[in-house]
Structure 1
Amino acid sequence: MPSLQESKLAFIGGGNMASAIIGGLVNKGVSKQNICVSEPWDVNREKLAAVGVRTTTDNTEAGGDADIVIIAVKPQVTRGVCEELGASWSNRKSLPVVVSIAAGITLSSLQEWSRTGDGRFAHVVRVMPNTPALVSEGASGAFAGEDVTASEKDLVNALLSSVSKATEWVDREELLDVVTGLSGSGPAYFFAMVEHLVTSGMSQGLSKEQATRLASQTCLGAGKMLVESTEEPSQLRKNVTSPNGTTYAALQTFEAEGFEGIVDKAVKAAIARAAELGTTLAK
């Protein structure tokens, strides 16, 4: 298996997440000529061409001879893309590693849809990244098929490290739905929190700009403390909370309103929806 630097990479789909990964790969020194993107939309394709990677509207031109194929299309069109690619791989001696970031599409579906004409399956890894990958601060979950080798996993780790600061491999596929509910959808939870903090600050007299800067930097600073500290989140919370102080008063309000239960229900709702999408799209 070639190294990441030596591999031919094909991106099927050139949206935001694909663009983020491509930018990370280029920054790591991967040759632009080793990256080809198949993207139907002119605007996206032109943006990627401006980066210097090869672009096309033909999925098989991009992925026909690639070592790694990243499926970065909407879940609803994944089946057609995989079937097209599988048919193009029938004459290949060795098949590529397929990395899917299509939410909810199961490993068995990806394998079946990309089956070659002579009945072979590509080695498939499912990945759930999140949007902070756009600023190289992503968190990703990954699940590999049983046939994926250790060297292929290393290759996927190297690929994801271009945009993710944390990549967690799970040993059961259903846990990817948990990753989706936790970190895949998670950025929106923090954005919503900041949104509501800004609104509250404005209602008490701060300007929108002041409240936004203060809330955003607070979110960033707290996140950095979580990543860099050796202490548990619960201890970091306690460190900020003086007995009967302002933070204590705020946290008591959270507790009275059932904050823990609200967060738990929200994550579980996202997990259930991810599982539902996987079941529906597999049909």
Structure 2
Amino acid sequence: MKENIGFLGAGAMGEALIRGLIRARLVPASQIVAWDVRQERLRELKAAYGLETAIGREDLTARADIILLAVKPQNVKEALDGIQIGNGKLVISIIAGVTLAELASFLGAVPLVRAVPNTPALVGEGITALAANDLVGPEDLDKAVAIFSAVGRALVLPEGQLNAVTGLSGSGPAYIYVLIEALADGGVRQGLARPVALELAAQTVLGAARMVLDTGEHPAVLKDKVTSPAGTTIAGLAVLEDRGFRGAVIRAVEAATLRAGNLSKE
């Protein structure tokens, strides 16, 4: 990628993207410029990655061809009010809950992409959903997909589906952590040492997810391959069905989706 990428805000997710871009060799550090209100944070990033730092918002937007907005939602007005985006520049936002229309109210008629990443991006295994306004062409959209593919996977969806994405993949890691903890607790109850049980649980979840992604088979098909007649797995599955495991997960996604919509309105 030949464009300079500017980060307005440089928190944990911003750093994950910076690290991913450099590791994937999508852009060299010399083509990344960052600005943050915390000067010590900029010094940390420069020392860690060798990137460029800007002296202010105006300097950042002047030097970057792709501007990535990574400030906290409560700071969006302060960060974007009065900011000027030059012609031909692409703006990508990872600001939670801020819609394309709200971004346009600050930035005007510019190409805008809204991204909803999740925290596994911090270890290069994230999934990001992207939605774009009508000013974003196919080439710019491909660039946005490439940026987030550097920290996992990326897909393009209508903006109306992003609250559901938040409820599923945005909040989903927390559901999986609870599952891993519960699996480990079950192992401990059956006599396994805590570190052993936790490693078994975490690797089992990781391996099962990899099977779904790599084989392309439906989870139900993969489940049936593990489930032999009158065996151990069907005994465990019967308990999960009896306790409403499947329905509880569905309702969790629903509740988180509704909350995401309310947060956007707030």
**TM class by shorter-chain length?**
over 0.9
Instruction: Give the equivalent residue in structure 1 for 2:69.
Output: 71
Distance 1:112 1:99 in 2: 15
Shift, 1:47, TM fit: 2.7
Aligned to 2:164, which of 178, 181, 186? Answer: 178
Counterpart in the other structure of 1:59 = 57
List per-residue Cα deviations over 1:223-252 (Å, max 9, x = no partner): 111111132111001111112211111111
One of 183, 205, 208 as aligned partner of 1:222: 208
Does residue 271 of the first structure (1) align with residue 257 of the second (2)?
Answer: yes
CA RMSD for the aligned pairs? 1.5
Secondary structure in structure 1 of the residue aligned to 2:177:
helix
Q: TM-score, normalised by structure 2?
A: 0.94
The answer as to 2:93 corresponding to 1:106 is no
For the 8 Å contact 1:124–1:145, the answer to whether it is kept is: yes
Give the % identical residues: 38
Instruction: State how 1:231-242 maps to structure 2 within 5 Å.
Output: 231-242=217-228
SS where residue 168 of structure 1 aligns?
Answer: strand
Q: Alpha-carbon deviation of 1:199?
A: 1.8
Contact 2:145 2:155 in 1 (8 A): no
Give, in angstroms, the shift of residue 57 of structure 1.
5.8
**How many residues end up aligned between the 2 structures?**
264
> Residue 7 of structure 1 aligns with which residue?
3
Q: Distance in 1 between matches of 2:23 and 2:205?
A: 27
Q: 2:32 aligns with which of 27, 32, 35?
A: 35
Say which SS state the counterpart of residue 71 (structure 2) adopts: coil
In structure 2, the gaps of 5 or more residues are: none
Deviations 1:243-264 (A, max 9, x none): 2211111111111111121011
Partner in structure 2 of residue 48 of structure 1: 45
CA distance in 2, matches of 1:57, 1:77: 19
Match in the other structure for 1:159: 147
Between 1:150-159 and 1:77-86, the stretch displaced more is 77-86
Residue 150 of structure 1 corresponds to 138
Q: Is the 8 A contact 2:110 2:135 kept in 1?
A: no
In 2, distance between residues paired with 1:208 and 1:63?
Answer: 50
Which whole-Å CA distance do the structure 2 matches of 1:241 and 1:20 have between them?
A: 38
Q: Which runs of 4+ in 1 moved over 6 A?
A: none
Aligned residue in 2 for 1:213: 199
Would the alpha carbon gap of residues 247 and 42 (structure 1) be closer, same or farther in structure 2, given more than 3 Å must change?
farther
The letter for the 2-side match of 1:124 is L
Helix, strand or coil for the counterpart of 2:178? helix
Match for 1:163: what amino acid?
Answer: V
Determine if contact 1:32/1:52 at 8 Å carries over to the other structure: yes
- What is the CA distance between 1:84 and its match in structure 2? 3.7
Q: Which moved more, 1:58-67 or 1:213-222?
A: 58-67
Whole-angstrom distance in 2 between the partners of 1:46 and 1:147: 35
Secondary structure of the residue aligned to 2:134 is coil
- Give 1:32 deviation, angstroms: 1.2
Give TM-score, length-normalised by structure 1. Answer: 0.88
